Chains A and B, each alone.
Chain A
Amino acid sequence: DVKVTQSSRYLVKRTGEKVFLECVQDMDHENMFWYRQDPGLGLRLIYFSYDVKMKEKGDIPEGYSVSREKKERFSLILESASTNQTSMYLCASSPGTGGYSNQPQHFGDGTRLSIL
């Protein structure tokens, strides 16, 4: 079974802090994703990565950055946390077969982040 592990289930930080959310997957997947989930808005893609050191902006990248130094780890960074970044953050991974696949994404349990 694919396992996507997010470092924290709950996190409370203060406005202006630099926040790191970590995600690790154990299935050697090429693709990794960060989403935020807000009521009524579904899941919105922040950033994704299709290879080590590669990253692409999603729909709402402002205020965030990412890092992928190793294939299994994808970090989301809030450079200077603000209260409107209070949300549920979900990490996902999927295999990259190089052709047309659109394989299902496998999700972690989520991190509920509160910015005070």
Chain B
Amino acid sequence: AQKVTQAQTEISVVEKEDVTLDCVYETRDTTYYLFWYKQPPSGELVFLIRRNSFDEQNEISGRYSWNFQKSTSSFNFTITASQVVDSAVYFCALSEGLSSASKIIFGSGTRLSIRP
């Protein structure tokens, strides 16, 4: 069975600090996809990144970076030089299989607060 664990329920840091959000997943499939979504106070989930299981390259997008390690079944998300606008709930998610309608399993989310 697939499972996504975000052990950090809440994180609070001061602006400009770096912060890493952890995500650990479980799956028996060799083909799967991992996602990160951001949910700001407005409520809408915003897609940040998708990574497939065959691509272990780390990715950087501005202040955001993702570290995918199959050996530890982790897909961690780092925000560098955090800003108040980064305050949100962040969800890691996993989708198995090859169907475009495959279910996505979400973690329970990490609430990130950036203090000025």
Chain A positions within 8 Å of B, measured between CB atoms, are 9, 30-31, 35, 40-45, 48, 50, 58, 88, 90, 92, 94-110
**A50 pairs with B101, CB closer than 8 A:** yes
A contact residues around B95 at 8 Å (CB): 102
Asked if B61 lies at the interface with its beta carbon under 8 angstroms from chain A, I say no
Contact A103/B100 with A88-B43, A110-B43 known, Cβ cut-off 8 Å: yes
Bound-state CA distance A101–B37 (Å) is 17
B contact residues around A108 at 8 Å (CB): 44
* Chain B interface residue bracket vs A: 20 to 34
Chain B interface, DSSP helix/strand/loop, else mixed: loop
B contact residues around A88 at 8 Å (CB): 43
Of A30, A40, A99, A103, which contacts B108 at CB under 8 A? A40
Bound-state CA distance A82–B103 (Å) is 26
The CB with the most chain A CB atoms within 10 A, among B97, B98, B99, is that of: B99
Asked if B35 lies at the interface with its beta carbon under 8 angstroms from chain A, I say yes
For chain B residues 9-50, which have a beta carbon within 8 Å of chain A? 9, 31, 33, 35, 37, 42-47, 50
Q: List 18 A-B contacts (CB under 8 A).
A: A31-B100, A42-B4, A42-B107, A58-B103, A94-B100, A94-B101, A96-B100, A96-B101, A98-B100, A99-B100, A100-B97, A100-B100, A102-B50, A102-B102, A104-B50, A105-B104, A108-B44, A110-B44
**A41 pairs with B42, CB closer than 8 A:** no
Bound-state CA distance A63–B9 (Å) is 29
Contact A43/B100 with A104-B47, A107-B44 known, Cβ cut-off 8 Å: no
A contact residues around B91 at 8 Å (CB): 42-43
Contact A30/B47 with A40-B9, A102-B95 known, Cβ cut-off 8 Å: no
**B47 pairs with A106, CB closer than 8 A:** yes
B contact residues around A100 at 8 Å (CB): 31, 97-100
CB distance from B42 to the nearest CB of A (A): 7
B contact residues around A48 at 8 Å (CB): 101, 103
Closest to A110 in B: B43
